[in-house]
Amino acid sequence: MLSYTFANMQLPIRGTLLNTATVAVGALSGMALGHGIPSDFQQVALSGLGLVVCLIGVKMFFQSKNAVIVIAAMSLGGILGAALHISPGLELFAETARQRFGGGGTFNEGLITASVLFCVGPMTLLGCLQDGIEGKIELLAVKSTLDGIAAFFLAATLGSGVLVTALVVLLVQGTLTLAARPLQSFAKDEKLVAEATAVGGALMLGIGLGLLNIGKLSMATYLPSLVLAPAFALVAQKFEKAAA
């Protein structure tokens, strides 16, 4: 019903508004009902979500046409992210939000984990490009449903930080949608999208492992890799054409 309503509205970022709404509703529902779910059941649900995120990440990674590009992008992207202090910056943002909105000890973890999970991946980029260029929100509608379900279980376990993630989704996806036309050529290049998708898969795998409590990787540090991967793929294409 919610997807149908937004599909018939004429707004420049209606796909993002739908996604923001589903994350907010999912998080609010999780916060309201999570107290009635035994902690053991919450952990089982969160572990199940972690397994699914890992599998999605692996599937995304295998879309790469050149693993060397992914390795280079992840390595240099991680170094760049560390130099730019991205992870401490997000921690500071999360702590500021926690003090502003209030929250428990898992507020920061919920905000950062959900933000990376909801804003990384091909459905985010391609869905925003589709919305901004063609005015279609089918892909973002599917993503919205998945994010709403994930937000419910994350909020039930990690609390109100997940709710604040709705604002992050609005900002990130809204910006991508409004900047869609300049990025149109990128969206049509399958090789560039494939490498960006593969890096996104590596990031999602790291998030999934975190949800499974198998190490706590700071995946936010590697966010520059999402930009470097298509850039490296573009350079590789130029070398291939020059050598041909």
pTM of the model: 0.80
Query: Which DSSP string corresponds to 60-113?
Result: HHTT-S-HHHHHHHHHHHHHHHHHTTHHHHHHHHHHHHHHHH---TTHHHHHHH
Closest CA to 124 of 152, 149, 144, 153: 144
pLDDT interval class at 71 (50, 70, 90): very high
Count the residues in the chain: 244
**How many CB atoms are located within 10 Å of the residue 161 CB?**
26
pLDDT over 90 for what percent of the chain? 36
Residues 123-168 have pLDDT tens digits of: 788 888 888 888 889 889 989 998 999 999 899 888 899 999 999 9
C-alpha distances out from residue 157 to 37, 44, 244, Å? 9, 10, 54
